[in-house]
Amino acid sequence: MRDAAFRTEQEQERYASHVRLVNEMVDGLRDPEGRGWMPYVAPWHGGTEARVLSVLRDPGPKTLEGAGSGFLCVENDDPTAELQAQIFEEAGIAPRDVTPWNAYPWYINRSPNAAELQAGAEVLKTLLTLMTKAEVVLLQGNEAQDVWRRLSKAHPDVVRDRALHVVSTYHPGRQALFVRDPQERVRRAQHRIDSYRQVGDALRSSQSPTDGQPGSSTNDKEERDG
């Protein structure tokens, strides 16, 4: 988002057809007297046309208007976004394949509590109803996996009826690697790469009806991000 022309383009296309419903939902959820501010989804991404829903914890400082871009976007100027952009590209996943989101979509810049994650699950349900082409859900970090469990418990039909392929891994932020064991750090970093590749493989395989049906593939043993 350092490129002024690119940022202007994102702002001008904020209500483009593929992101209009998502960003109108964001408008309705912004409440200065309640939970507060929420970033838009950048039109650089797929919006309602995306086949992948990518969930992290909460919006970072670089999503803020003024101080940042005002958008959820892998082109934001922060290490987490940069790493995602890099691994998505290496896995053959285009920006328009993905809609980025958060377990708690309002800006708090901290780990959300249980009540906030429950609120996030309700918003996630609404988002999924808009993303009719979604095939894969990428859950990155403990909070993303937590909110998915809450959604699955409160609205099991949303998950069951969609036959979504669910992939869980570590958060792409540096904190996920804050462990003493260097081999564990390497393992976690590789797990993220392998998970993105799994998403890319799922997208490519679903393009052919002979490649089998997508199913749930949550890695329960990996539900931690340090």
Task: List the chain pLDDT tens, one digit each, 226 residues.
Answer: 778 899 999 999 999 999 999 999 999 999 866 899 999 999 999 999 999 999 999 999 999 988 899 999 999 999 999 999 999 999 999 999 999 999 999 999 999 999 999 999 999 999 999 999 999 999 999 999 999 999 999 999 888 888 899 999 999 998 889 889 999 999 999 999 999 999 999 999 987 544 433 333 444 334 444 4
Q: Return the pLDDT at 32.
A: 65
What three-state secondary structure class fits 14? coil
Residue that has been written with the tokens 């980025």 in this structure? 100
Q: Which residue has the tokens 């909070």?
A: 143
57 SS3 class = coil
Q: How far apart are CA 168 and CA 194, in angstroms?
A: 11
Q: Cα(214)–Cα(163) distance, rounded to whole angstroms?
A: 7
CA–CA gap between residue 151 and residue 189 (Å, rounded): 27
Tokens of residue 144, six digits: 């993303």
Cβ-based neighbour number of residue 203 at 10 Å? 21
The pTM for the full model equals: 0.90
CB contact at 8 A, 201 and 93: no
Cα gap 101→39, rounded to integer Å: 10
What is residue 34's predicted lDDT score, i.e. its pLDDT?
A: 84
Ramachandran area for residue 127 (φ above 0: left; ψ -120 to 50: alpha; else beta): alpha
Q: How far apart are CA 21 and CA 195, in angstroms?
A: 29
Phi then psi dihedrals of residue 65, to 5 deg? -70, 140
> Where do runs of H (alpha helix) occur along 60-180?
79-90, 114-130, 142-154, 156-160
Amino acid found at 107: Y
In contact, 72 and 167? CB cutoff 8 Å: no
**Distance between CA 153 and CA 138 in Å, rounded?**
18
Q: In the CATH scheme, what architecture does the domain 4-222 have? A: 3-Layer(aba) Sandwich (3.40)
